[in-house]
């Protein structure tokens, strides 16, 4: 029942071909594809870095690298994964899907959109260039402070810090442009009849993300600018000797950093109900409750930041406030879990790859949420903080929550994007290998943290050897399994079984009314929602 109205004949396509097409395109689908491709490449870049780290940590002693280089790898790994893999992947989803889902002909500001993407590659280059420059004897390598830039360590650092500061600025500008575009597109270009409370949940998730980005990226940009002036222009924002305060940096950083977690996850939470409802053949449970939970999480996320540095020493009332505000996030989050499971309840489930990833996501992200709840406890956090327990926790959130969520979306929409079905067999292999090796990698890290292993150390005491060895084996399986993912996508782009317009038998939403793949210009005639 394709109602798509495209007029390839009447509509004269002027877009250039070859590289110029991609450089100059203002088409949301092209830009979405570029974002997603970029994210996939950077996912492997960040992955290779951390596999080097895991190899170093396979056994006690320094085998492969010096501590300086180790410190650079962990920080750049995180910056790449967060800013250049996960965020662009989510933006890629938004670009591809939002116009299709809300019945808009394109994003509202197509040229801004193009610019937003093309800022990313230079930023990624800035971030990683210091590694290369060091090979030629320029500077001492990339930023070695971890991804958190904590002053005064970052004031002390080499040119890698300056490069990272500029990279973050550019990435921030790109995110803000993307966010503005998404907000105005949702507000202004919805199909007639699509009220806000009929908006697909994916769009709602992204809308809150966009507002969070707009509220917090400027603070991050401000913080790193202050860092830059402390480094080069004699200011003392973070230097006690000049009347500044190093902890101010942590406040500013985490005012951005905590919402950032939700920025990474909200688009995925928005996507989940679509997938669960499709494969349970049952409408979404608790649409309104989910919308309000998104909003509540968005609001709460900007008032809990100090739980990331309880150990700096704070007044007791502040500790108690930040503990309870953090714990209260568990309520809207529980609403989401409830709605996800209630959506499946008494449905007619089938377990194609996207559904497998969605279920894997729910279980593993559940572990992230539950360990997060105990991390909020100040006294217990005194043990967990800066230990491998935290590393495990946030990988359950960011890898199992973020990356596996993105994989859910990729498998769910890939047939729509390419017009071909991916290989279900390979998809299932990819899922099971990922889930098993993910747990093999990160479950031992919980125990390492409890036993007292600090994070960000290139070498460790002998009692940590066994778990580290297991974790490294897991990480390598995890890393290599992702090649299956890339190969499956590649195959699907190249060809394969034709996908139906409706791809999944009971998928709901405007996007499924368009052909697979959708024409270059879709919804030139807007659909009407009743």
Nearest to ligand HEM of 128, 280 (CB atom): 128
Answer for which of 6, 145, 174, 209 binds another protein (CB under 8 A) is: 145
Nearest to another protein of 314, 493 (CB atom): 314
Answer for which of 8, 11, 432, 528 binds another protein (CB under 8 A) is: 528
Upstream peptide bond of 153 is cis (omega within 30 degrees of 0): no
Nearest to ligand HEM of 343, 441 (CB atom): 441
Where does this chain touch another protein (CB under 8 A) — which range of 18-26, 33-41, 317-325, 483-491? Answer: 317-325
Binding of another protein at residue 223 (CB under 8 A)?
yes
The contact set with ligand HEM (CB under 6 A) reads 47, 50, 53-54, 74-75, 77-78, 81-82, 86, 146-148, 391, 395, 398-399, 402-403, 441, 455-456, 475, 478-479
SS3 (DSSP) at 355: helix
Residue 297 Cβ vs Cu ion, minimum distance, rounded to whole Å? 12
SS3 (DSSP) at 420: strand
Nearest to Cu ion of 334, 341 (CB atom): 334
Answer for which of 37, 459, 479, 517 binds another protein (CB under 8 A) is: 459
Residue 233 Cβ vs ligand HEM, minimum distance, rounded to whole Å? 26
With 0-12 CB in 10 A as exposed, 13-18 as middle and 19+ as buried, what is 86? Answer: buried
Where does this chain touch another protein (CB under 8 A) — which range of 83-91, 305-313, 482-490, 493-501? Answer: 305-313
Nearest to ligand HEM of 28, 430 (CB atom): 430
CA distance linking residue 516 with residue 8, whole number of Å: 15
The contact set with Cu ion (CB under 5 A) reads 258
If contact means CB under 5 to 8 A according to the sort of partner, which of ligand HEM, another protein, Cu ion, none does residue 258 touch? Cu ion
CA distance linking residue 465 with residue 269, whole number of Å: 37
Binding of another protein at residue 189 (CB under 8 A)?
yes
Give the Å distances, CA to CA, from 385 to 259, 378, 391, 449. Answer: 19, 10, 9, 9
Binding of another protein at residue 55 (CB under 8 A)?
no
Residue 163 Cβ vs another protein, minimum distance, rounded to whole Å? 14
Mention every residue, 6+ apart, whose C-beta is less than 8 A from residue 56. Answer: 62, 63, 64, 65, 70, 458
If contact means CB under 5 to 8 A according to the sort of partner, which of Cu ion, ligand HEM, another protein, none does residue 441 touch? ligand HEM
Answer for which of 41, 295, 302, 473 binds another protein (CB under 8 A) is: 473
Mention every residue, 6+ apart, whose C-beta is less than 8 A from residue 183. Answer: 207, 210, 211, 214
Residue 51 Cβ vs Cu ion, minimum distance, rounded to whole Å? 24
Measured N-to-C along each axis, helices 404-418 and 246-280 cross at an angle, to the nearest 10 degrees, of: 50
If contact means CB under 5 to 8 A according to the sort of partner, which of ligand HEM, Cu ion, another protein, none does residue 153 touch? another protein
Mention every residue, 6+ apart, whose C-beta is less than 8 A from residue 231. Answer: 154, 155, 161, 162
**Hey, which residues between 11 and 30 contact another protein (CB under 8 A)?**
none
Count of other CB atoms within 10 angstroms of residue 131: 18
136-144 own/partner pairs: CB under 8 Å, 24+ apart: 140/68, 141/68, 141/69, 141/72, 142/72, 142/75, 142/76, 143/72, 143/75, 143/76, 143/79, 144/68, 144/71, 144/72, 144/75
Nearest to Cu ion of 54, 258 (CB atom): 258
Nearest to another protein of 491, 500 (CB atom): 500
**Hey, which residues between 337 and 396 contact another protein (CB under 8 A)?**
337-338, 341-342, 344-351, 359, 362-363, 366-367, 370-371, 373-374, 377-380, 382-383, 385-387
If contact means CB under 5 to 8 A according to the sort of partner, which of Cu ion, another protein, ligand HEM, none does residue 54 touch? ligand HEM
Q: Report the candidate in 488, 481, 410 with the shortest Cα–Cα distance to residue 439.
A: 481
Residue 367 Cβ vs another protein, minimum distance, rounded to whole Å? 7
Q: Are 183 and 521 in contact (CB under 8 A)?
A: no
Mention every residue, 6+ apart, whose C-beta is less than 8 A from residue 107. Answer: 28, 31, 95, 98, 99, 113, 181, 182, 185, 189
372-376 own/partner pairs: CB under 8 Å, 24+ apart: 372/330, 372/397, 373/327, 373/330, 375/307, 376/307, 376/323, 376/326, 376/327
Binding of another protein at residue 207 (CB under 8 A)?
no
Q: How many CA atoms lie within 13 A of 507 on its CB side?
A: 23
Nearest to Cu ion of 163, 294 (CB atom): 294
Binding of another protein at residue 246 (CB under 8 A)?
yes
Binding of another protein at residue 508 (CB under 8 A)?
no
Residue 388 Cβ vs ligand HEM, minimum distance, rounded to whole Å? 7
Residue 136 Cβ vs another protein, minimum distance, rounded to whole Å? 11
CA distance linking residue 337 with residue 91, whole number of Å: 24
SS3 (DSSP) at 194: coil
Q: Give the CB-nearest residue to ligand HEM.
A: 146
Answer for which of 433, 450, 484, 507 binds another protein (CB under 8 A) is: 450
Binding of another protein at residue 515 (CB under 8 A)?
no
Q: How many CA atoms lie within 13 A of 118 on its CB side?
A: 15
Nearest to ligand HEM of 103, 360 (CB atom): 360
For residue 243, give the DSSP letter.
T
């Amino acid at each position: 029942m394709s109602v798509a109205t495209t007029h390839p004949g009447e509509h004269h396509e002027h877009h250039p071909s070859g590289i110029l097409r991609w450089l100059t395109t203002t088409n949301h689908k092209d830009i979405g594809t570029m974002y997603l491709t970029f994210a996939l490449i950077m996912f492997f870049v960040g992955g290779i870095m951390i596999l080097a780290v895991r190899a170093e940590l396979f056994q006690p002693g320094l085998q492969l690298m010096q501590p300086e280089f180790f410190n650079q790898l962990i920080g750049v790994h995180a910056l790449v994964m967060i800013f250049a893999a996960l965020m662009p992947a989510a933006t890629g989803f938004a670009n591809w899907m939002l116009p299709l889902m809300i019945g808009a002909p394109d994003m509202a500001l197509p040229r801004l959109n193009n610019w937003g993407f093309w800022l990313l590659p230079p930023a990624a280059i800035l971030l990683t260039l210091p590694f290369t420059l060091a090979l030629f004897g320029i500077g001492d390598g990339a930023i070695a402070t971890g991804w958190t830039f904590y002053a005064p360590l970052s004031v002390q650092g080499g040119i890698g810090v300056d490069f990272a500061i500029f990279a973050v600025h550019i990435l921030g500008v790109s995110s803000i442009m993307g966010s503005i575009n998404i907000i105005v597109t949702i507000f202004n270009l919805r199909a007639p009849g699509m009220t806000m409370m009929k908006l697909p949940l994916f769009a709602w998730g992204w809308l809150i993300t966009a507002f969070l980005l707009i509220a917090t990226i400027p603070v991050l940009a401000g913080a790193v600018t202050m860092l830059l002036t402390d480094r080069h222009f004699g200011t003392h924002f973070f230097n006690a000797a000049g009347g500044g305060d190093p902890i101010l940096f942590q406040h500013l950083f985490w005012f951005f950093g905590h919402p950032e977690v939700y920025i990474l996850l909200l688009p995925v939470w928005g996507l989940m109900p679509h997938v669960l409802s499709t494969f349970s053949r049952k409408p979404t449970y608790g649409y309104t409750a989910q919308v309000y939970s998104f909003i509540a999480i968005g609001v709460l996320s900007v008032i809990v930041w100090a739980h990331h540095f309880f150990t700096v020493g704070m007044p007791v009332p502040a500790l108690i406030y930040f503990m309870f505000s953090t714990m209260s996030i568990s309520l809207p989050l529980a609403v989401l879990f409830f709605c996800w499971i209630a959506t499946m309840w008494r449905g007619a489930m089938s377990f194609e790859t996207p559904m497998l990833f969605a279920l894997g996501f729910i279980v593993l992200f559940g572990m992230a949420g539950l360990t997060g709840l105990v991390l909020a406890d100040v006294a217990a956090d005194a043990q967990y903080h800066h230990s491998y327990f935290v590393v495990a926790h946030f990988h359950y959130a960011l890898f199992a929550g973020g990356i596996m969520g993105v994989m859910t979306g990729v498998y769910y929409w890939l047939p729509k994007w390419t017009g071909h079905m991916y290989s279900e067999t390979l998809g299932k292999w990819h899922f099971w290998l990922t889930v098993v090796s993910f747990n093999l990698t990160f479950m031992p890290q919980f125990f390492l943290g409890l036993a007292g292993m600090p994070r960000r150390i290139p070498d460790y005491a002998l009692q940590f050897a066994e778990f580290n060895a297991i974790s490294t084996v897991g990480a390598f399986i995890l890393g290599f399994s992702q090649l299956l993912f890339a190969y499956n996508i590649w195959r699907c782009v190249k060809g394969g079984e034709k996908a139906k317009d409706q791809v999944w038998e009971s998928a709901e939403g405007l996007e499924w009314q368009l052909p697979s793949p959708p024409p270059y210009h879709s919804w030139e005639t807007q659909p009407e929602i009743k």
